[in-house]
Structure 1
């Protein structure tokens, strides 16, 4: 587990800023403070945010009864940049070990563009339930910041 003081403090005004940061890391190079490469982080972000449009796996609704607790406990931590580290994600959201950084940054950018231009209702978030569009986008921006803070740009 990584100590919090080893990580960058970053916050994104929106997902476009997260894409800009991913592109900047790709251009500058980076060192890792965590387990995943830039490509793995971008793949994870795509795997997590695409279901906002496409729908989450049905089995995730089994935990819907926890949503009130998660909205009170985890959501404020995530949005404040204080989300916990070291928590394993489900295998469906785990990126493969080998990814290409440039390819995955492009996929992340395309996923963000799709999410931003989607005009329908977003699917209910598995941990937080049905939320307004702006809150879903805020969650995905904070989630991107949570993961990208583990990468330190090369000088």
Structure 2
């Protein structure tokens, strides 16, 4: 656990900058996924904020008030829980090209930030204002990118 970076991003553009810095410096994995896999996962999750989540994910809707109360503050504070397996549709494959996936993440963030309509209700937290959805995605990026450290860092 001590190998994990303490990360909190003020916004998604800072998360993209961090991913690009990891790509440029090289990185050490302290988790299961490469930089490319993390970026692919982030794209798969955040693109659905515009396109809408699969209907089966609404099964969690009755738990949303509890999750907003218990889990959301932990997530936004940079203390999100570890060890939960993600749904298969969000599992990135092995062998992805880091550079291509970082740029796909950057493009996805650009699309999210340019979006002017409502976002789809988050599967775990429900309908939130745009700034809330963007804050959740920035926290999600920090949660995953903290598992990589820059080559040569002593953190």
In structure 1, the gaps of 5 or more residues are none
Root-mean-square deviation (CA, aligned residues, Å) is: 0.6
Aligned match for 1:38, one of 35, 39, 46: 35
Q: Name the TM-score, length of structure 1 as normaliser.
A: 0.96
Residues 1:66 and 2:63 aligned together: yes
Q: Which aligned pairs between 1:109-124 and structure 2 lie closer than 5 A?
A: 109-124=106-121
Kindly report structure 1 stretches of 4+ aligned residues shifted beyond 3 Å.
none
Measured after TM superposition, the shift of residue 10 of structure 1 is 1.2
Q: Name the TM-score, length of structure 2 as normaliser.
A: 0.96
Aligned match for 2:20, one of 15, 18, 23: 23
What is the alpha-carbon distance in structure 2 between the residues aligned to residue 99 and residue 75 of structure 1?
A: 30
Measured after TM superposition, the shift of residue 6 of structure 1 is 2.3
The aligned counterpart of 2:45 is 48
Structure 1 SS opposite 2:105: helix
Structure 2 SS opposite 1:110: helix
What is the alpha-carbon distance in structure 1 between the residues aligned to residue 60 and residue 48 of structure 2?
A: 16
**Cα deviation per residue 1:45-86 (whole Å; 9 max; x = unaligned)?**
001100000000011011100101110111011000110111
**Cα deviation per residue 1:86-115 (whole Å; 9 max; x = unaligned)?**
110000111111211001001000000000
In structure 2, the gaps of 5 or more residues are none
